[in-house]
Structure 1
Amino acid sequence: MQEEASKALGGGSLGSWYAPNITSDKISGIGNWSQDEIKTYLKSGHIDGLTQAAGGMGEAVEHSFQHLTEADLNALTIYLASTQPVRDPADGNLSRFALGQPVSSADRVRGNQPIRSEDNPDISGAELFTGNCASCHNYQAQGSHDGYYPSLWHNSVTGASNPDNLIATILFGVDRHVAGAQAFMPGFGGKKTDAVQLNDEEIAKLTKYVFDTYGRPQVSVSPAQVATIRHGGSKSPLLVLSRIGMAGGTILIALGCFWFLRTFRK
Structure 2
Amino acid sequence: MTPGPRLLWGTGVAVVAVLAVAVALMWKPAIAPIGAPPVTSFDAQTKLAGARVVALGDCIVCHTAKGGQPFAGGLPLATPFGTIYATNITPDVETGIGNWSLEAFTRAVRHGVARDGHLLYPAFPYIHFTRMSDGDISAAYAYLMTREPVKATAPANELIFPLNFRPLLAFWNMLFLRPGPEAADASKDVQWNRGKLLVDGLGHCASCHSPLNPIGGEKSGHAFDGGIVDGREAPALNALSAAPKPWTQAQLVTYLRTGRASEHGAAAGPMLPVTRDLATVPEQDVQAIATYILSIQKPRPTDASPVASTSPSAQAQSGAVLFAASCAQCHGPQAPMQSIGERPTLALSTAVNASTPRNAIQMILGGIDWHGEDALNYMPAFAQVYNNRQIADLASYIRATYSQRGPWDDVEESVAKVRKENDAR
* Aligned-partner Cα distance in 2 for 1:150–1:42: 15
How many correspondences in the alignment?
204
Gaps of 5+ in 2: 1-215
Q: Distance in 1 between matches of 2:244 and 2:235?
A: 8
Q: CA deviation at 1:47?
A: 0.8
Give yes or no for the alignment of 1:200 onto 2:200: no
Aligned CA distance change for structure 1 residues 125 and 204 (closer, same or farther; 3 Å) = same
Q: Is residue 251–residue 263 contact of structure 2 (8 Å, CA) maintained in 1?
A: no
Counterpart position of 1:214:
402
Of 59, 68, 77, the match for 2:290: 77
**Residues 11 and 95 (structure 1 numbering): CA distance in 2 closer, same or farther, change over 3 Å?**
farther
Separation in structure 2 between the aligned mates of residue 200 and residue 33 of structure 1, nearest angstrom: 33
Q: How far apart are residue 206 of structure 1 and its match?
A: 0.6
Task: Indicate the residue corresponding to 1:8 in structure 2.
Answer: 223
Q: CA deviation at 1:60?
A: 1.2
Match status 1:59 vs 2:273: yes
Note closer, same or farther for the CA distance 1:51–1:176 as it changes in structure 2 (3 Å cut): farther
Between the aligned partners of 2:353 and 2:274, the Cα distance in structure 1 is 23
Partners of 1:45 and 1:52 within 8 A in 2 = yes
Cα deviation for residue 92 of structure 1 reads: 2.1
Query: 1:179 and 1:137 mapped to 2: Cα distance?
Result: 22
Note if contact 1:141-1:151 (Cα within 8 Å) is conserved in structure 2: no
Equivalent residue of 1:5, what SS?
coil
**CA deviations over 1:215-235 (Å, ceiling 9, x no partner):** 133322422210211232699
CA distance in 1, matches of 2:373, 2:221: 37
| Cα shift at 1:25 | 5.6
Conserved? CA contact 1:163–1:221, under 8 Å: no
> C-alpha distance in 2, partners of 1:135/1:168?
20
**Amino acid paired to 1:53:** A
- In structure 2, what is the equivalent of residue 264 of structure 1? none
1:184 is paired with a residue of what secondary structure? coil
Distance 1:160 1:142 in 2: 26
Larger RCO: Structure 1 or Structure 2 (Cα < 8 Å, ≥ 6 residues apart)?
Answer: 1
Displacement, 1:49?
A: 2.4
Q: How many angstroms apart in 1 are the aligned matches of 2:418 and 2:371?
A: 24
Tell me the CA shift for residue 141 of structure 1.
Answer: 7.7
Alignment partner of 2:416 out of 224, 227, 243: 227
Does residue 155 in structure 1 map to residue 349 in structure 2?
yes
Question: Which sections of structure 1, spanning at least 5 residues, go unmatched?
Answer: 106-120, 236-266
Match of 1:136 in 2: 330
Amino acid at match of 1:57: M
Gap change, CA 1:163 and 1:25, over 3 Å in 2 = same
**Compared CA separation, residues 126 and 29, structure 1 to 2 (3 A):** closer
The equivalent of 1:110 in structure 2 is none
Distance 1:133 1:78 in 2: 35
Cα distance in structure 2, aligned partners of 1:229 and 1:209: 19
Q: TM-score, normalised by structure 2?
A: 0.43
| Bigger-Rg structure (1/2) | 2
Does the CA contact (< 8 Å) of 1:40 and 1:46 recur in 2? yes
Q: Distance in 2 between matches of 1:151 and 1:21?
A: 21
Partners of 2:230 and 2:351 in 1: CA distance: 16
Q: Does 1:93 align with 2:304?
A: yes
2 CA distance for matches of 1:83 and 1:154?
Answer: 22
Seen in structure 2, the aligned counterparts of structure 1 residues 204 and 140 have a Cα distance that, compared at 3 Å, is farther
> Partners in 2 of 1:56 and 1:209 — Cα distance?
26
- Give the share of equivalent positions with the same residue, in percent: 31
Assess if the C-alpha contact under 8 Å between 2:240 and 2:247 holds in 1: no
Residues 1:46 and 2:260 aligned together: yes
Instruction: Quote how far apart the aligned CAs of 1:152 are.
Output: 1.2
Quote the offset at 1:93 in angstroms: 2.4
Please tell me the root mean square deviation across aligned C-alpha atoms, in Å: 3.5
What is the match of residue 241 of structure 2? 26
Provide the rounded CA distance (Å) in 2 between the counterparts of 1:45 and 1:178.
15
CA contact (8 A) 1:175 1:182 kept: no
Q: TM-score by structure 1 length?
A: 0.66
| Structure-1 separation of matches of 2:293 and 2:229 | 20
Please tell me the residue identity of whatever aligns with 1:210: I
1:166-206, CA deviations, whole angstroms, 9 ceiling, x for partnerless residues? 000000001375993132100101xxxx5xx1011110111
Confirm or deny: 8 A CA contact 1:203 1:226 kept in the other structure: yes
